[in-house]
Structure formats: structure tokens, C-alpha cells
Amino acid sequence: MRFAPIVPFEYDPASFTDYHLILAHEVLENDALREYYQRLNRHVIILDNSVIELGEPLSAGELELAHSFFPASYLVLPDVIGDVPQTVELAKEWVRNRRPSRRLMVVPQGSHPKEWLECLDALVRIIAPVGEELVVGIARLTEDWEGGREFLYKEATRLGVWNGAYHLLGVQHKLEEVTWARQHALIWGVDSSLPGRAALMGLRSEEVTDLRKAPDLVTYEPRIYGEVQAEIIRVVHSVA
């Protein structure tokens, strides 16, 4: 399994991994960030719709513009946190408007596993016929459900709802909660801001017990340059 570190690009994450998740709104706002990732060759880039950071996804037009800078990326389609009908409708609108569909990621929503699986089934039926490559993202908030993301993944594959590629969107509490996924080839990877947060706290990444309460490294801090890079390397090796 691969790791996509969510840290300011000045820490040069591409020197340690070829797997990345970048935020669409930052692509549109930050020329230096955009140029850093555009220079990469044969790296996997997931272009996130920024719903966690902004509270709502970027508009379809804004996402399409951000995607135009990274046409080979896996674009995370718009979703509404916890809202199945709106998430499904946004997927339908994407298809109706003939938006880019080469490589897409859908993020099922719901308030419990059954609802999540139903949403996944609906999204796959809508997007799989039009997309050349489809990945299912499992949101970190579902880690708090009984059985967590491991249960969702195993149920989705057992029932045959989706037996293609998966990505774990973020670490909810601690690194240990995603290590189960190393045994499943369909799970490509996981992203997280864990390395930067751990470095800010002076901890190893595996020592962070609740990532939600840890300070976030949102801007470049040269004083912890080496520490952040060391934690990126640590997590890359931990999840491999």
C-alpha cells in the first residue's frame, strides 16, 4: 500500500513517494504548488474536491478547471458529507454534463454501513459505465462506525458491489487503524497529514493517538524540515 503525505509541498514529498493527494482549491490558488506537482512524471495524483477543507465541494466548473492542469489525475467527484441523495445527484449531473471522466474517484456517503453500501452501489452504476478508470474512496469519518473501514471494504467486496480499486481518505485517529489494509491489493493507498502533525508535536507518527486533536501543519515551517521528511519516510515504510 502506498502513502500520500498531506504536507506543504516545500517539504518535497515527491522525493519519498510517487503517490499524492492534492486539493483542487489549492491548485487554483497556489501557482507554486501547482507547478511543483506538474513537474512530476509517472506519479499517481489524486485531485481532491476539497469538501473536508471547505465544508462543501468546489463547483463542477472549478473542479474541471483544476483538473485541466492535471488531466492524468484521479479526480474526486463532488460529494456532500453524510448526504446520500445529494452525492448521487451530483454524480448524475457530472455524467449529464459530460465532464471529464477518464480517471475518477467516488466517495460514498451515508450515516451507517447499509446506507454507505447502497450509496456505493448507486455511484458505481452511474460512473463505472462512463469512466475509463474508477477508484472508490472510503472517507476517514466512517472509521468511527462499528467495524470501521475494514468492515466496509470487506462487505463491499464480499457482496460484489465493487471489486476494483480503493483508496483510504485520511487517517481518523492513529496510524494503526489503517495497517490492516496492507494485506489487500485492491487498496492502493492512504493519505494523511500525519507526518507534519507528528513533527509539530515532536513525536513519531505511530505515537500520535488522536490525529483530530493534533495541530495541523498548514504552512511551511523550515525549522522542522528534517523532522517532517523523516516522518514521511516513516509512514511510507509503515504502510507498505
pLDDT tens, position by position, 179-229: 999 999 999 999 999 999 999 999 999 999 999 999 999 999 999 999 999
Helix (H) or strand (E) segment spanning residue 74: strand 74-76
Per the prediction, the chain carries an average pLDDT of: 97
Q: Give me the percent of the chain exceeding a pLDDT of 70.
A: 100
Mean pLDDT of 151-169: 98
Q: Is residue 182 part of a domain?
A: yes
Q: Is residue 212 part of a domain?
A: no
Distance CA 166, CA 54 (A): 24
Distance CA 53, CA 122 (A): 25
Whole-number pLDDT of residue 208: 98
For residue range 37-89, what is the model confidence (pLDDT) as tens digits? 999 999 999 999 999 899 889 999 999 999 999 999 999 999 999 999 999 99
Q: Is residue 8 part of a domain?
A: yes
Domain count, the chain: 1
Position 101 confidence tier, pLDDT thresholds 50, 70, 90 = confident
- State which amino acid sits at residue 14: A
Domain that residue 103 falls in? 2-193
Cβ atoms of 127 and 106 closer than 8 Å: yes
- State which amino acid sits at residue 92: K
Q: Is residue 76 part of a domain?
A: yes
Strands 133-139 and 103-106: parallel
- Distances in Å between the Cα of 213 and the Cα atoms of 51, 159, 216 are 20, 36, 9
Whole-number pLDDT of residue 100: 78
Q: Is residue 126 part of a domain?
A: yes
Q: Is residue 51 part of a domain?
A: yes
Q: Is residue 232 part of a domain?
A: no
Which CATH number belongs to the domain containing residue 121 in this structure?
A: 3.20.20.105
Distance CA 148, CA 49 (A): 23
Q: Is 176 exposed, middle or buried (0-12, 13-18, 19+ CB in 10 A)?
A: exposed
Q: Is residue 23 part of a domain?
A: yes
